[in-house]
Amino acid sequence: MMQRPLRPEEYSLKETSPHLGGGGVSGDKLTTTYDLVEQMQYLYVRVVKAKDLPPKDVTGSCDPYVEVFAFSKDRIQASVLEVIVKDKDFIKDDFIGRVLFDLTEIPKRVPPDSPLAPQWYRLEDRKGDKGKGELMLAVWMGTQADEAFPDSWHSDAATIPSDGLANIRSKVYLTPKLWYLRVNVIEAQDLIPNEKNRFPEVFVKVMLGNQALRTRISQSRTLNPMWNEDLMFVAAEPFEEHLVLSVEDRVAPNKDELLGKTVIHLQNIDRRLDYKPVNSRWYNLEKHVIVEGDQKKKEVKFSSRIHLRICLEGGYHVLDESTHYSSDLRPTAKQLWKPSIGVLELGVFDNCHLQGGENAAGARDTRIGKVRIRLSTLETDRVYTHSYPLIVLLPSGVKKMGEVQLAVRFTCSSLLNILHMYSQPLLPKMHYLHPLSVMQLDNLRHQATQIVSMRLSRAEPPLRKEVVEYMLDVDSHMWSMRKSKANFFRIMGVLSPLVTVGKWFDQICHWKNPLTTILIHVLFVILILYPELILPTIFLYLFLIGVWYFRWRPRQPPYMDTRLSHADTAHPDELDEEFDTFPTSRPPDIVRMRYDRLRSVAGRIQTVVGDLATQGERLQSLLSWRDPRATALFVTFCLVAAVVLYVTPFRVVAFLAGLYVLRHPRFRHKLPSVPLNFFRRLPARTDSML
């Protein structure tokens, strides 16, 4: 059964009007933590322990429970709370006693009020008579702001298995603290090769966990080779892996022999915040691994050595996200962190508009959607309440998985600090003073993503690898025909104002609207007579445009746009290509068809790039004497122009040039101009290409 396509407005952002409770805003200060969400009332029952139970109980001693139960007030229909104590049995649980509470007498508590102290309550039988046994309880009416809310057993989740409760409770995951590890391999001394009758081809291989890099083969083929190469790795606190360096000899194209190895603890490595020199050290190389820094290490009288300069770089930010969607750009070292400029508050509403996967206990977590909000698009001290569409792109096409209602507020402590941030570089200073290459950054970003995925998968409950990669946009750099089309039309959208201005100027030059052309002539004459007004006029015009557009400024945050992404018009085969694995897993005939399609697209791009190169080479040929007659004409023209411009005032030249450009169509002809004809006849290097 085919699903009907959704209307474009169903993919758009919708403004909501929730009843934000739990306190309000008093001036610029918040009265409670939960004032951005709707206040929900809950009945909390905290069961601490029991004592003096009847002999039915197995132990007969004080049994600790320490459980908190939360019941939504909207679903409570009774007027009495009944807490029953039973003795678990194989066939039927035996009734021990109960405690009754009148709901109208239950106290209310809202943080920051102090928590209620539990009390002992004597158990009653079914007839209401007091019996043996007591139960320690605390009962109160509260909200979701209560400290017991995250870890309580909710009545709404009674049907969920116990092993799945951890997945529906709120939890904060802390990403590991990442460092760039710089290993500068300087030289080695006194190497002992296995073959004495040849010059060794030595290189150094460095490993840190799953990361492995190697230097080039030393140019000095001696027993004391030199490299002076920098190798960069990503390390995460706490440092669990050791740095393993091995010096190897290339004895054959596919055969390397170990000359020595050393293992170094990362805890013993220096940390630096800037680019000050780090002290280098000599490390002994052994055929059998000996951990550097081990107290039981034996004293070695003679061994091969390697000279290293190792440090943990705290002045860089370890990039683990896509460049366009980075949520944190602070350096690793906390000493370099700048003070915060404000507070971002986010309220999430449960509107029951989500579509989960059919296989909840599957081997992978399915994507439902994501929301991106750039902080610079938010007005300060304003609450944004919207329903965001959750959209995912599947091989079958774009699909709306539901909506999520959010309340967002960005509060700043100082407007001057925020404005000052716009003048600061995005990345820490080390990225500009001593930048890393693009290839290094791509490799380090991949390694950082793997480390974050591995560490968060060990949390409880674990965040699976596909969840972390989805949050970090790992596949954002992969080729996609859909993304290529979207980026092309984005470029066209950026250039469209220039095209519009060009068409408007062409209409002025051809006198399509004589009144406008006459006004442009008057403005042109004024600017010629008073050239000091040119720059003020330009900036005043830009100011007026900005003020004019203020009336139509965006009043809502950006959201996932299916039309901008070309997700709603993508061809099924293009989507199948986008979701293909790397390397491809499709049949050869499909790969051949897609390759031919890519060749045709690349051919058009190649033609455009070639045309641009041709125009640039024609400019270069003006003075290269590749065409001696054209260069002679151009050189003569330059001499005459220099003399004329020297003796003629600049205002006169500009005035005559402007009148020539704006001349009436009666003085125009449809043939190309002389300078254009001259330029098109200039030679280019296309004649020399195969």
| Gap between the Cα atoms of 158 and 489, Å rounded | 51
Least confident of 50-59, 62-71, 616-625: 50-59
Tell whether 213 and 147 lie within a shared domain: no
Longest CA span, the chain = 120
* CB-count burial class (<10 Å; 0-12, 13-18, 19+) for 467: middle
In a domain, residue 249? The reply is: yes
Q: Are residues 77 and 213 in the same domain?
A: no
d(CA 287, CA 258): 7
Report the C-alpha gap between 113 and 42 in whole angstroms. Answer: 16
Verify that 208 and 312 share a domain, yes or no: yes
Other Cβ atoms less than 10 A from the Cβ of 365: the count is 15
pLDDT at 549: 92
Peptide bond between residue 425 and the one before it cis (omega within 30 degrees of 0): no
Interval 414-430 mean pLDDT: 90
pLDDT value at position 439? Answer: 92
Q: Which of 209-218, 286-295, 516-525, 540-549 has the lowest mean pLDDT?
A: 286-295
The domain tally of the chain equals 3
Could you tell me if 250 and 316 lie in one domain? yes
149 and 232 together in one domain: no
Going by C-alpha positions, the residue among 18, 17, 109 that lies closest to residue 68 is 109
| Residue 461, preceding peptide bond in cis (omega within 30° of 0) | yes
CA distance 664 to 294: 90
pLDDT band for 76, please (50, 70, 90 cuts).
confident
Average pLDDT, the chain: 84
Say yes or no: 106 and 152 in one domain: yes
Residue 4 scores a pLDDT above 50: yes
Model's pTM, two decimal places?
Answer: 0.80
User: Domain check: are 191 and 307 in the same one?
Assistant: yes
- What is the percent of the chain where pLDDT is above 70? 89
Give residue-wise pLDDT tens across range 438-496. 999 999 999 999 999 999 988 888 888 888 988 898 888 888 888 888 999 999 999 99
Question: What CATH number did the domain enclosing 314 receive?
Answer: 2.60.40.150
Residues 202 and 321 in one domain: yes
Residue type (1 letter), 242:
H
Given a cut of 80, is residue 306 above it in pLDDT? yes
Question: In terms of domains, do 121 and 229 share one?
Answer: no
Same domain, 150 and 274: no
**What residue numbers bound the domain in which 179 lies?**
173-337+440-470
Same domain, 245 and 210: yes
With 0-12 / 13-18 / 19 or more C-beta atoms within 10 angstroms meaning exposed / middle / buried, residue 137 is buried
Which pLDDT score, from 0 to 100, does residue 24 have? 42
SS3 573: helix
Instruction: Write down the pLDDT at residue 216.
Output: 93
Q: What totals of helices (H) and strands (E) does the chain contain, helices first?
A: 13, 23
Residue 34 is predicted with a pLDDT of: 64
Based on the fold, state whether residues 119 and 64 are members of the same structural domain.
yes
